[in-house]
Amino acid sequence: MNAPVNDPKAGFTPRSETAAVTLRNRILDGEYAPGTPLQEVPLSQEMGVSRTPIREALSILSKEGLLEPGPKRSFKVKTFTLDEIRHAYELRGCLEGFACRHLAEVGLSDEVDARLEACLRHGDELLAKGLEASRQDEWLEMNNELHATLVEACENPFLSSFVHQTHHVPLASARHVHWYAMDERNFDLARKAHEHHHGIVQAIRDRQSARAGFLMEEHVAYSFGLVSEYAEGFQPK
């Protein structure tokens, strides 16, 4: 009948979105030190646009929690304390645990089951080959894919949104795995994490709701242990 009309095409990217993506990456990658003031005029000059789209980008990042108020109603890059990172992980554990319990109760679709299986095998393969440095990005992708698959499978937009928000925390994001040198100890840690993955998926397949939830919470708590060890070095003291 009438044309579907909107969204999915998106043949045009607003400058405000471009700016937001750029700034978000800089913050999450640590290019901007915590506390760095983000002012509209300098940024607009640097990016060759007017203040308007920069303003909108800052507004977006602010609502994502990446910025905090500065001197003149301005924004600066938020300083995350170890406590806040822990808070983010606690919520992640709570939310992803909820996801696992839910999936164990309602069951996995064939498609989701297959995607999880692919992640598990992919991880197995990477580990079997010693997780060489050149493939650490793959490991990271696999990890993200597995967690994202579990969350998305619940088809609860609030859940997806909240989990996403806990990822928008510098140091708390999985994108920082590469900070760890891949020595023997860290290889062992990765192996353990992947054992968790296997256990979680198995529990869901076995429809063991409480167990699946517990394993995921434990897995996230374990991950935080690793991150906190590293992140301590970044604390302002």
Neighbouring C-beta atoms of residue 215, cutoff 10 Å = 22
Q: Which amino acid is at 231?
A: A
Q: Does 84 bind a copy of itself (CB under 8 A)?
A: yes
Q: 111-137 burial string, b = 16+ CB within 10 Å, else e?
A: ebbebbeebbebbeebbeeebeeeebe
Residue 2 found at the interface with a copy of itself (CB under 8 A): no
Q: How far is the CB of 35 from DNA (least distance, A)?
A: 14
Distance of closest approach, residue 191 Cβ to a copy of itself, in angstroms: 30
CB of 5 to a copy of itself, least distance (A): 6
Nearer to a copy of itself, 43 or 60 (CB): 60
For residue 156, list its beta bridge partners. Answer: none
Residue 39 falls in which region: left (phi positive, over 0), alpha (psi -120 to 50) or beta: beta
Inter-residue contact 165 to 96 (CB < 8 Å):
no
5 in contact with a copy of itself (CB under 8 A): yes
Pick what 156 binds: DNA, a copy of itself, none; C-beta below 5 to 8 Å, kind-dependent.
a copy of itself
Which positions lie near DNA, rule CB under 7 A?
A: 5-6, 9-12, 14-16, 38-41, 49-53, 55-56, 71-75
Q: Can you tell me the distance from the alpha carbon of 43 to that of 59, in angstroms, rounded to the nearest whole number? A: 14
Nearest C-alpha neighbor of 84 from the set 169, 186, 197, 174: 169
Q: Which does residue 221 touch among a copy of itself, DNA, none (CB within 5 to 8 A, set by kind)?
A: none
The Cβ of residue 45 has, within 10 Å, a number of other Cβ atoms equal to 12
- Give whichever of 67 and 212 is closer to DNA, judged by the CB atom: 67
State in angstroms the smallest separation of the CB of 37 from DNA: 7
Which CB sits closer to DNA, 39 or 208?
39
3-state secondary structure of 202: helix
164 binds a copy of itself (CB under 8 A): no
Instruction: Point out which residues bind a copy of itself (CB under 8 A).
Output: 5-7, 56, 59-60, 63, 65, 69-71, 84, 87-88, 90-91, 94-95, 98, 102, 156-159, 161-162, 165-166
